[in-house]
A and B are shown apart, each in its own frame.
Chain A
Amino acid sequence: MKGTFTLSIDGRQVHAEEGQTVLEAALAAGIDIPRLCWDPRLTPTAQCRLCLVRLEGQPGLVTSCTEKAQPGMVVVTEDDEIREVRKTILELMLSEHRLSCQTCDMDGECKLQDYAYLYGADERAFGLREFDTDPPNYTARDEAIRYDSSLCSQCERCVRVCSEVQGLDILTLMGLGSAAPQVSTAFEMPLQETDCEVCGNCIGACPTGALYERGSRGMGQLKNLEKVVTTCPYCGVGCQIALYVNRDLGRIVRVGSEIGLVPNDGSLCVKGRFGYDFIHSEDRLTHPLVKRNGRFEEATWEEALDLVAGKLGDIKSEHGPDAVAGLSSAKCTNEENYLFQKFMRAAVGTNNVDHCARLCHASTVAGLARAFGSGAMTNSIEELPRADVIFVIGSNTTECHPVLGAMIRRAAQDGRAHLIVADPRKIELTRYAQIHLQQASGSDVALVNAMMKVMLEEDLWDHRFVEERCENFEAFREEVLRTDLEEAAHVTGVPLSDIRRAARLYAGAERAAIIYSMGITQHTTGTDNVLTLANLAMLTGNVGRESTGVNPLRGQNNVQGACDVGALPDVYPGYQKVDDPDLRRKFEEAWGVTLPVEPGLTVVEMMNAAADGDIKGLYVMGENPMLSDPDIGHVKEGLERLDFLCVQDIFLSETAELADVVLPATCFAEKDGTFTSTERRIQRVRRAVAPPGEARPDWEILCDLASRMGYPMHYEHPSDVMDEIASVTPIYGGVHYERLEGTGLQWPSPTADHPGTPYLHKGRFARGKGRFHPVPYRPPAEVPDDEFPVVLTTGRKQEHWHTGTMSRRSRVLDWLLPHGELEMSPALADRYDVGDGETIRVISRRGSVEVTARVVDKPRPDSVFMAFHFREAPANVLTNPALDPIAKIPELKVCAVRLEKVAGEAEGEQEQ
């Protein structure tokens, strides 16, 4: 614990912690000191000099942002002299500031404006200057970020955030120090020609209006905007975002973030900041649609709901409840997912409920539950950068979870943490890694088993932890010792020396954390992969302590929550097994109905059953299997064979186009609720704007439908639903809305006075003892052969997300990355004589797509990579629906393809 002491500030005795600055101590005590260049996330640089204070017994003034607080110090934060100096400094700043508050969007949140007012600074004291309006600079043609040097106070917060928080060092001041230097990139390159990730955290750090979102210009001054803090709807990191609402327009016109909120502390990524256009898209569904004679017609809610209830009821009575299935949604709130599974189980009477977690982390849930007893991220986001070694395997963190990725990048850059990256591609994090293990896709078990064999051979494992905390070690040890290291090096394509180095580095760490994502899970060996990582963590005693653990990163904003509240075919909320009679009785009592006994079908099984005619009716809430699921051709076949398909969504997605009834739902900005982030943190979602047209919140739609089907569901507000969740879900037992203000709560929080759990398995695993599993290596279901000689792996791009329904409607995101690409190594491009930007056809056993080639030294020479966001080049036409036998997750990460160059226009022109 840090020492605390007291000092006097403005005559008040104030408590301070060792290491705190005078400014921090003052702010903590509610004493305000003016400052422009200070940002709590950054090393203080004392550039604005406004925070000057006087220390008793010391001549002159000191900057409180750099002066360390000392016991017994006597501080005066303001007197006549200090006021006068501050006023002069402000007047000097105003003398080089284009005075345009009337037309500046920052009006209302500009620190310079606030202080000028507070100190009565005369903006003309040192004369008025002419400014070029809109002089060209590095943002001149940028669609996302603009910089106006005439409003810049040269505080360098943007430069420093880019370096110290984002770890990218894109910006600098440029020019002679005395000549009002401007912010710039190197050589004034446009941001797009640099490594800029367009996170816009430079905008967030700007205390004046110098940096701003191009799209927000003229959309309302900050003084007139209402700010609603809520949770980002993109990935699972759970960033807290601030939606700025222009009430006159009824629109969200800007997105920011508050410094100090977990987990993102003011940081956002490109999607979080610029990806909100979809909310007010023209394409939003505004009325229920009913398909008549193959065409959609608008219908009233009465008609549409009657029709859905009637059709589902008919199927149920004719073919039994198990002829109906439902896909819930990781995009929707916990409350809605809870109601959806309750609707399926209690109103329809089937356990056929699943959602896209099946496609991303079903193997995590299965694997970690078997090994540890809980299928969730063991530790917290903020702990990870403090690990001594971070082992990132199968996670392109900076691209897919950018805010967390930046934290890891920074930890590695500073040498605070050693980074090991295992990935078939040279992902961005490999630049900062001590070791990059570029294993062949699908060879993870071989790789990790080999590392563990080295640890066993060299006695680098934690005997005491294994002895005291784990079971089944001998069987595991036998299996690992069977690993032939030379063979493993061959299978993985990783030099044995690197495997040894990685093993020693990981095992040698006091605190080592594993981070993984879909590179581990989306395999026919997904559960094996997860079990192997669990083995690795247990072998080295890296579970149940801070900054250690096995940390799956969830891809969707609420995929964790959707699983937690039971949108899965085999469990009720809180992972309570449906085939446990006691638990079933508990839910029958709570819900007042008899519940089905058998676990239901999983996503891919539902599609197969639909194609086979066993599923007749499907209810899809906010999912888009027509782009997200493997082997889309087969999915389409199944959906078309259904007697009845209802899709509830915010857009007419590829799946909705096939529906009989489409119900217009609301997005995250239009309703109250909660999401649960990847670190098990339950966070509030708050309504900021009204839904478009007649669109309704999903939870209300579900209640009306259930009632129509003879199972009345009625709630006043989502908070009532959460109270019900808490009453039947032990891990959520202490979760109530009033406790979620601020930082939210990390489950398990079983009781109303339980503070939540930052890391799991402390002292004892959730299942008692951690269980080792012997896991032999198995190759992927489809390996390259003469006919399909190249490995295709799929994933995401930072600018887009999932099936693109949201991100591709963002002006900025679409500008940054308008179309899909096939990444291939220069070696492979040579072999096929393909140049960067040329069109190439990719063919698998299941289909073919044409896509633009991007030649880049990133994939292995035997592999290509495609993102699955793009409907015009849908990667999942190609992917293999082969399933992991336990988790039923399809092998989206590996399939075999053939490449064909498509005759280009250039060639055609030559012939003419």
Chain B
Amino acid sequence: MSAVETKIVTRRVGVVPPFDLEAYRADSGCRALEKALSMTPAAVTEEVKRSGLVGRGGAGFPTGLKWELTAREEAESKYLICNADEGELGTHKDQLLLEGDPWRVLEGMTIAARAVGAGKGIIYFNEHFRSIAEQWEEMIRAAEQASLLGDDILGSGFGFRVKVCLGRGLYIAGEEMALIASIEGRRPTSRDKPPFPTQHGLFGLPTCVNNVETLANVPDIVERGADWFRSIGLEDDLGTRVITLSGDVKEERVREVAVGSSTLAEAIETFAGGTRSGRPVKAVQPGGGTSAFLAADALDTPIAQQAIARAGSSLGTAGIIVYEEGHSIVDAAVSCMEYYGRESCGRCAPCRIGTVRMLEILKQVQAGQARPGSLDQLRRIGYACAVSSTCGMGQAFPEPVLSALKLFPEEFESQLVAAPNATR
């Protein structure tokens, strides 16, 4: 079977000119905002809650609940933060939305702000999105002129302003707590929760942090209703996911699919044209570079969180990284660790030191200089880091290495010094 697209959040991408308010309005843009402004904030939250939408940033927290928790707090002011610091390996979904249908994301932000009672908004871009961020600055000015942002949005009395932050080349700053610390001008480090940002977030104020894709879903849910949204995807995992196909594929692609509508293999074949060389797939990381490897026998797993989890990995950011036969899994693990091993925020000792040590050991393995005990060391460090780190990142960093060791132990063992065939 071949995979099919279900376009909701990517509906206008490549069709309607982006950063063009008139075109956006002409394509039914802003209707959800108008509707949301006519509803009570609680009713908007209830609608999103009922839709079953969960966060698309990787952790999968129910969006409506997060809004409710933020709305519940009493405070002089609150923040709505759009996390646009997309930095996960093999993931480009947010980028597509930010430049392909930016008004949709801004509309989602404004509706979210209205629902939680936030008067201040911040969108935090990955450093690589500098030119997009600049366009957003202009768009925000246009929105203010069109009364879509400002002290009295569309005459509703609701006020919301958005500021643009541009990241500075640090992947970890995309982690929720580190992101907040970053905007505050502190060292971008995570911390233990509670208190949650919804209670004690940016500058101590209640703060709702949502991912780009999550917010992009909001206008359609508000406009078309929760029941419509619930008709898409699986019963326990609703809506669509914007997947990124990369790695050893013919063509890197970003596509939107209904949750559970196709398998990993189908998506790779249909959207990316199969593997680069045509050789069979050896392994995939289905949820970005910090997700565990799945071997070829798991390729018929549907693209849905539960199914992927049962297979031994995580859907994360739905960045599907493909490794074809012949691709050394040791090299793959080293690549992941090279990317993430310099990205610890430094807060938790096991992650800060462990990722660096793991990368050192992996490189020794790769160079054929490691001793037999090294693999156990990798397992020990990885385990300690995963169980003892405070944030999702620290918990996930060792995943690729640990899963690779589990799935392809012989590839590592064959490169050890004392192994029989180490002298190749």
Contact = CB atoms under 8 A, between A and B. Distances in A.
A and B associate: yes
B345 A92 contact: no
Interface in A39-61: 45-49, 52, 60-61
A176 B192 CA distance: 20
B381 A92 contact: yes
A89 interface: yes
A61 B352 contact: no
B50 interface: no
Contact of A92 (B188, B347, B384): B384
Contacts of B345: 177-178
Contacts of B350: 49, 85, 88-89, 92
A889 to B, nearest CB: 47
B22 to A, nearest CB: 45
Given A126-B377, A178-B341, A45 B347 contact: yes
Interface string B323-346: 000000000000000000111111
Given A52-B388, A66-B192, A95 B347 contact: no
Given A89-B384, A92-B354, A126-B377, A173 B192 contact: no
B381 A88 contact: yes
A93 interface: yes
A891 interface: no
Contact of B192 (A46, A96, A127, A180): A46
Contacts of B341: 178
B208 to A, nearest CB: 22
A88 B390 CA distance: 16
A60 B387 contact: yes
B interface residue count range (under 10 / 10 to 19 / 20 to 34 / 35 or more) = 20 to 34
A85 B387 CA distance: 8
A154 interface: yes
Contacts of B187: 172-173, 177
B387 A61 contact: yes
Q: Which of B187, B341, B342 has the most CB of A within 10 A?
A: B187
A180 B355 CA distance: 12
Contact of B384 (A45, A63, A88, A181): A88
A178 B380 contact: no
A89 B388 CA distance: 9
B172 A85 contact: no
Contacts of B275: none
A125 B377 contact: yes
Contacts of A178: 341-346, 352, 355-356
B23 interface: no
A92 B356 CA distance: 10
Contacts, number: 92
A179 interface: yes
A154 B390 contact: no
A153 interface: yes
Contact of B389 (A49, A173, A179): A49
Contacts of B357: 92, 95, 126
Interface in B180-228: 187-189, 191-192
B349 A61 contact: no
Contacts of B377: 125-126
Contacts of B188: 177
Interface in A163-190: 172-173, 176-181
Contacts of A125: 377
B189 A177 contact: yes
Interface in A106-163: 125-127, 153-154
Contacts of B343: 178
B139 interface: no
A95 B353 contact: yes
Contacts of A96: 353
A84 B389 CA distance: 15
Interface in B369-400: 377, 380-381, 383-384, 387-390
A67 B144 CA distance: 44
B348 interface: yes
B386 to A, nearest CB: 9
A172 B187 CA distance: 9
Interface centre among B349, B384, B390 (most CB of A within 10 A): B349
Given A61-B387, A92-B349, A126-B377, A176 B354 contact: no
A126 B381 CA distance: 10
A138 B341 CA distance: 28
The CB with the most chain A CB atoms within 10 A, among B342, B344, B346, B381, is that of B346
A216 to B, nearest CB: 27
Contacts of A47: 347-349
A458 B377 CA distance: 75
A863 B342 CA distance: 57
Interface string A801-840: 0000000000000000000000000000000000000000
A75 to B, nearest CB: 16
A177 B353 contact: no
Contacts of B192: 45-46, 63, 66
Given A63-B390, A179-B342, A92 B383 contact: no
Select the residue from A47, A81, A154, A172 with max chain B CB neighbours within 10 A: A47
A45 B342 contact: no
B274 to A, nearest CB: 37
A127 B369 CA distance: 14
B305 to A, nearest CB: 17
A440 to B, nearest CB: 40
Nearest to A68: B194
Nearest to A89: B350
A93 B354 CA distance: 9
A46 B346 contact: no
A177 B347 CA distance: 7
A177 B352 contact: yes
A178 B187 CA distance: 12
A177 B181 CA distance: 13
B167 to A, nearest CB: 14
Interface string B161-183: 00000000000100000000000
A177 B344 contact: yes
A127 B356 CA distance: 12
B172 A49 contact: no
A664 B353 CA distance: 57
A84 to B, nearest CB: 8
A60 B390 CA distance: 11
Contacts of B384: 84-85, 88-89, 92
A45 B186 CA distance: 15
A736 to B, nearest CB: 47
Contact of B349 (A127, A154, A172, A179): A154
A46 B345 CA distance: 14
Contacts of A172: 187
Contact of B191 (A45, A48, A93, A179): A45
Nearest to B354: A92
Nearest to B346: A177
Contacts of B353: 92-93, 95-96, 180
Nearest to B347: A47
Nearest to B188: A177
Contacts of A173: 187, 346
A45 B193 CA distance: 10
A169 to B, nearest CB: 11
B131 to A, nearest CB: 26
Contact of A153 (B349, B380, B383): B349
B339 to A, nearest CB: 12
A172 B348 CA distance: 16
Given A84-B384, A125-B377, 7 more contacts: A45-B191, A60-B387, A85-B384, A89-B350, A178-B352, A180-B352, A180-B356
16 contacts: A46-B192, A49-B350, A81-B387, A84-B380, A85-B350, A85-B387, A88-B381, A92-B349, A93-B349, A95-B357, A125-B377, A154-B352, A173-B187, A176-B346, A178-B346, A178-B356
Interface of A: 45-49, 52, 60-61, 63, 66, 81, 84-85, 88-89, 92-93, 95-96, 125-127, 153-154, 172-173, 176-181
Q: Identify the 3 closest CB pairs spanning chains A and B, nearest first.
A: A177-B346, A88-B384, A178-B344
